[in-house]
Amino acid sequence: MSWNVKGSYFESCNCDTLCPCIFLSAPTMGDCTVVVGWHIDSGNDDAVRLDGLNVVLAVHSPGPMHQTKWNAAAYIDGRANEQQRQSLLRIFGGQAGGHPAALASFIGKLLGAKFVPIEFESKGKAFSLKIPAVADVAIEALEGAGGAATQISGHPLVIAPGFPATVARSKHLKYTDYGYNWSLTQKNGLFSPFQYQN
């Protein structure tokens, strides 16, 4: 079976801008709490179409992200039918290979996977996502010299290989589930296109 998904992703965490974790350094606060969202513009898992669907991952790493196993919770778009749900779980859970498998290798404990309404929005330099009663995250690009975007590429811990990440700052990050309660503002954010396949 072949699969391919592409679209936009963003993340926000409790580190100061710019998150040192992506350079394999210790997180600003000693641990890392991050919410990552993916919106699939187009994609398929063999004959199963995945266009327009969203996936969110909430992660707590008790220490440096490259050295410490993560606790993670997955959220799959509630609009997905059963075939689409299984495909998204397989792909983003790492069982289908590709870059998601590399990311999944850092997870020590999967707290759960829920099928929920996910609102994902991108407007130019701003991204946001909402999961009712669980998550509310919004970021906006950090303006660089001359008004240009501030971008990084080639960093070792990367969500979307092959694409430069635009540096952003959070307007807010709120997450409440599995005993966690995060409420942050003016912290790190990153966004870029993504494409995964195998």
pLDDT tens, position by position, 135-193: 999 999 999 999 899 999 999 999 999 999 999 999 999 999 999 999 999 999 999 99
Question: pTM above 0.85?
Answer: yes
pLDDT range class, residue 94, cuts 50, 70, 90: very high
What SS3 class is residue 89? Answer: helix
pLDDT at 134: 98
Question: Is 44 part of any domain?
Answer: yes
pLDDT at 31: 96
Question: Is 188 part of any domain?
Answer: no
pLDDT at 103: 96
pLDDT at 128: 98
Question: Is 130 part of any domain?
Answer: yes
Question: Is 59 part of any domain?
Answer: yes
The domain of 159 spans 3-179
Report d(CA 31, CA 16) in Å as an integer.
12
Q: Specify whether the CB–CB gap between 90 and 76 falls below 8 A.
A: no
Number of domains in the chain: 1
Taking residues 75-85, what's their average pLDDT?
98
Give the start-end residues of each E strand in 46-179. Answer: 48-49, 54-61, 70-77, 107-116, 119-123, 126-131, 135-141, 151-152, 165-177
Question: Is 112 part of any domain?
Answer: yes
Q: Specify whether the CB–CB gap between 55 and 74 falls below 8 A.
A: yes
What SS3 class is residue 87? Answer: helix
Question: Is 195 part of any domain?
Answer: no
For 26, 29, 152, 197, the CA distances from 63, given in Å and listed in that order, are: 7, 9, 23, 30
What mean pLDDT is reported for the chain? 97
DSSP code of residue 123: E
Question: Is 90 part of any domain?
Answer: yes
pLDDT at 36: 98
Question: Is 193 part of any domain?
Answer: no
pLDDT tens track for 29-63: 999 999 999 999 999 999 999 999 999 999 999 99
Taking residues 85-92, what's their average pLDDT?
98
pLDDT range class, residue 1, cuts 50, 70, 90: confident
